[in-house]
């Protein structure tokens, strides 16, 4: 019978330890460390989501690897004092927290940080302040910028994710205020209807009038990258980050573009799995199960992250999960140098083909913003957590305002790995409109499973419009077909373009304009084809 020769590890844990910031605000957190030995390198994780987030941190594994672990609440959250201001204070507070840690007798003067989403942003913002003692960061599924790719995508407001996250943070703020003895009744009264029916809240017109979220008018009132966003951008200066960073991404994560851009600017190892934002490290996404080998556990992701934070990582520079084939593969760099950008043209008769079209007549459809195309899967963060990842698009494709372009049945596997863009030559009757595109894998049984999608907000009535679908690694198997969908909305993932040429956040119901659209057959999708 196998026997494990293991020695018990005695732990010292302190809860709600006060940590003063430079402005006198006291933040609090939990400190875990081995009861004997030391001093220790410390893993710092900072969160705005309360104590529940701490349960997903690999505290036990980190302790066994020789770290002390500090789990801190961001200001105005959990047991920390102060007011929560999204993104504004995380760099300075992270810097001051690292200074506090390195001054403790159990610290060896070295700190590393880790996290996903906002938590990863906290780590990168702290790194941008160049705190003495910070040695490495693991940043998972996090944006590279607070305007582009977080609140706005291709110029369209990321309505669904902003509403879902904003309502959550507003609720946490009210709970924090109530625990501090403040009267939060009016705030709860305004917010509870939004929390109770986010679908209805998303249809609020004008969009800027959604109640209960303190920062809502700031987000919706600054559609362009102006001084408001530039002030936030100064808290995440990639050119000031000097420590090594490991990046973890998901093919179905709404911050895939941000993680890839962080990797491009900062270097470091990159791991991309078939994961959604909240399903990081799992084996299933949306309506597809990629098998147990797709999980983070299968590639020992947690162990590799701790090795990286210890300065002992020996893994590949890039590790990607190739969907369709459902295998992990090591690569030397991203994007893949051997991938060949290949145009597949959108023919007027609905054919998608590498051959250029002969006819010049456009395809046409009518878009009514009162009846937008419903969000069906994709890189989402909606209140309906099941509406994410690959989903069957057949119901969407029955709509008259969705154009479909499909290849013939594939006679051999086609691997698409890398950045994907759609170039539309198109026109509208409206003063402004949106153009959306979606890449779809059509199975032999008829299922039309979404792969990637994107949007661009157009202010010209006609022209050439490039839609960024970010990236994927998808093998379209022999017997399948490749499809591209084109339309003018994806709601509530993105806000509706009223068609008036005015900012969308200001449009009332009476301002919504029916838009007559034309897509010309010299349009195409660029697929990075990997020779096989």
Tokens of 107: 């610290």
Ordered structural domains, the chain, with CATH? 152-230 (1.10.3020), 237-334 (3.40.50.1820), 340-530 (2.60.120.260)
Indicate the SS3 state at residue 192.
Answer: helix
Q: Distance (Å, rounded) from C-alpha 123 to C-alpha 129?
A: 10
| pLDDT tens column, 82-109 | 999 999 999 999 999 999 999 999 999 9
Percent of the chain at pLDDT exceeding 90: 96
What pLDDT is stored for residue 484 in this prediction? 98
φ/ψ of residue 328, rounded to 5: -85, 145
What is the helix (H) or strand (E) element at residue 101, kind and residue range? Answer: helix 90-102
What pLDDT is stored for residue 15 in this prediction? 96
Q: Distance (Å, rounded) from C-alpha 58 to C-alpha 302?
A: 8
Q: Distance (Å, rounded) from C-alpha 313 to C-alpha 185?
A: 51
265: pLDDT strictly greater than 90: yes
| pLDDT tens column, 13-65 | 999 999 999 999 999 999 999 999 999 999 999 999 998 888 889 999 999 99
Strand partners, 404: 485
pLDDT average, residue stretch 236-264: 98
pLDDT average, residue stretch 441-457: 98
What pLDDT is stored for residue 449 in this prediction? 98
pLDDT average, residue stretch 508-528: 97
Radius of gyration of the chain (CA): 24
358: pLDDT strictly greater than 90: no
Which residues neighbour 336 within 8 Å (Cβ) at sequence distance 6 or greater? Answer: 417, 418, 528, 530
pLDDT average, residue stretch 332-352: 97
207: pLDDT strictly greater than 90: yes
Which residues neighbour 34 within 8 Å (Cβ) at sequence distance 6 or greater? Answer: 9, 10, 11, 12, 40, 63, 66, 68
What pLDDT is stored for residue 53 in this prediction? 86
| pLDDT tens column, 388-428 | 999 999 999 999 999 999 999 999 999 999 999 999 999 99
What pLDDT is stored for residue 61 in this prediction? 95
Q: Distance (Å, rounded) from C-alpha 431 to C-alpha 428?
A: 8
Residue 527 near residue 340, CB atoms below 8 Å: no
What pLDDT is stored for residue 476 in this prediction? 98
In terms of Cβ atoms closer than 10 Å to its own Cβ (0-12, 13-18, 19+), residue 377 is buried
Name the residue with tokens 């009132």.
221
Interior angle at CA 422, CA 223 and CA 464, nearest 5: 70
Residue 144 near residue 262, CB atoms below 8 Å: yes
pLDDT average, residue stretch 360-375: 96
Q: Distance (Å, rounded) from C-alpha 79 to C-alpha 28?
A: 6
Pairing label, strands 318-322, 270-276: parallel
Residue 482 near residue 464, CB atoms below 8 Å: no
Q: Among residues 148, 167, 386, which one has the least CA distance to residue 284?
A: 386
What is the helix (H) or strand (E) element at residue 264, kind and residue range? Answer: helix 256-266
| pLDDT tens column, 155-204 | 999 999 999 999 999 999 999 999 999 999 999 999 999 999 999 999 99
Q: How high is the mean pLDDT of the chain?
A: 97
Which residues neighbour 290 within 8 Å (Cβ) at sequence distance 6 or greater? Answer: 274, 283, 284, 321, 323, 326
Q: What is the DSSP string of 130-168?
A: --TTEEEEEEES--S-STBTTTEETTEE-HHHHHHHHHH
| pLDDT tens column, 452-471 | 999 999 999 999 999 999 99
Q: Distance (Å, rounded) from C-alpha 88 to C-alpha 94?
A: 11
What pLDDT is stored for residue 360 in this prediction? 81
Binned at pLDDT 50, 70 and 90, residue 2 comes out as: confident
Could you list the active site residues?
A: 117, 253, 277
Q: Distance (Å, rounded) from C-alpha 463 to C-alpha 213?
A: 37
Indicate the SS3 state at residue 18.
Answer: strand
Taking the complete model, does pTM exceed 0.85, yes or no?
Answer: yes
Q: Among residues 334, 387, 375, which one has the least CA distance to residue 487?
A: 375
Q: What is the DSSP string of 209-259?
A: G--S-TTHHHHHH--S--HHHHHHHTTS-GGG--S-EEEEEEEE-TTHHHH
Q: Distance (Å, rounded) from C-alpha 332 to C-alpha 319?
A: 9
What pLDDT is stored for residue 20 in this prediction? 98
| pLDDT tens column, 278-304 | 999 999 999 999 999 999 999 999 999
Indicate the SS3 state at residue 471.
Answer: strand
7: pLDDT strictly greater than 90: no
């Amino acid at each position: 019978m196998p026997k494990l020769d293991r020695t018990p590890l005695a732990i010292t844990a302190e809860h709600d330890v006060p940590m003063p910031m430079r402005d006198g605000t006291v933040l609090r957190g939990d400190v875990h460390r081995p009861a004997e030995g030391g001093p220790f390198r410390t893993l710092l994780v900072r969160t705005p989501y309360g104590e529940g987030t701490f349960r997903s941190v690999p505290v036990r594994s980190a302790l066994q690897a020789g770290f002390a672990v500090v789990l801190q609440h961001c200001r105005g959250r959990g047991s920390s004092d102060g007011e929560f201001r999204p993104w504004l204070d995380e760099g300075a507070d992270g810097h001051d927290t690292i200074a506090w840690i390195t001054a403790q007798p159990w610290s060896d003067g070295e700190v590393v940080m880790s996290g996903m989403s906002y938590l990863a942003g906290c780590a990168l913002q702290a790194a941008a302040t160049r705190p003495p003692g910070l040695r490495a960061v693991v940043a998972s599924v996090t944006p590279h910028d607070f305007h582009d790719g977080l609140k706005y995508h291709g110029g369209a407001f990321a309505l669904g994710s902003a509403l879902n996250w904003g309502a959550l943070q507003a609720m946490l703020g009210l709970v924090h205020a109530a625990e501090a003895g403040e009267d939060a009744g009016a705030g709860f009264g305004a917010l509870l209807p939004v929390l109770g029916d986010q679908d209805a809240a998303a249809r609020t017109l004008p969009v800027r009038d959604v109640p209960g979220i303190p920062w809502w008018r700031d987000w919706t009132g600054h559609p362009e990258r102006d001084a408001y966003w530039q002030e936030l951008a100064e808290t995440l200066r990639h050119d000031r980050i000097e420590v090594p960073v490991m990046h973890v991404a998901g093919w179905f994560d709404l911050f895939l573009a941000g993680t890839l851009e962080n990797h491009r600017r900062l270097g470091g190892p990159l791991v991309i799995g078939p994961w959604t934002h909240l399903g990081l490290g799992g084996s299933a996404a949306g309506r597809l199960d990629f098998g147990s080998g797709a999980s983070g556990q299968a590639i020992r992701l947690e162990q590799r992250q701790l090795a990286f934070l210890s300065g002992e990582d020996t893994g590949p520079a890039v590790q990607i999960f190739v969907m369709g084939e459902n295998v992990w593969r090591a690569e030397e760099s991203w994007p893949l140098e051997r991938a060949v950008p290949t145009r597949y043209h959108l023919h007027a008769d609905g054919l998608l083909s590498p051959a250029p079209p002969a006819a010049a007549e456009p395809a046409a459809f009518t878009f009514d913003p009162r009846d937008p195309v419903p969000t069906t899967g994709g890189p989402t963060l909606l209140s309906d957590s099941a509406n994410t990842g690959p989903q069957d698009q057949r119901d969407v494709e029955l709509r008259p305002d969705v154009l479909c372009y499909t290849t013939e049945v594939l006679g051999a596997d086609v691997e698409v790995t890398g950045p994907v863009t759609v170039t539309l030559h198109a026109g509208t009757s409206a003063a402004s409109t949106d153009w959306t595109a979606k890449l779809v894998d059509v199975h032999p049984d008829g299922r039309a499973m979404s792969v990637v999608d994107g949007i661009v907000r157009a202010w010209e009535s006609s022209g050439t419009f490039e839609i960024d679908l970010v990236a994927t690694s998808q093998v379209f198997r022999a017997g399948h077909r490749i499809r591209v969908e084109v339309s003018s909305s994806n709601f509530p993932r993105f806000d509706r373009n009223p068609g008036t040429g005015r900012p969308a956040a200001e449009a009332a119901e009476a301002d919504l304009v029916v838009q007559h659209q034309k897509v010309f057959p010299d349009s195409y999708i660029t697929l990075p084809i990997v020779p096989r």
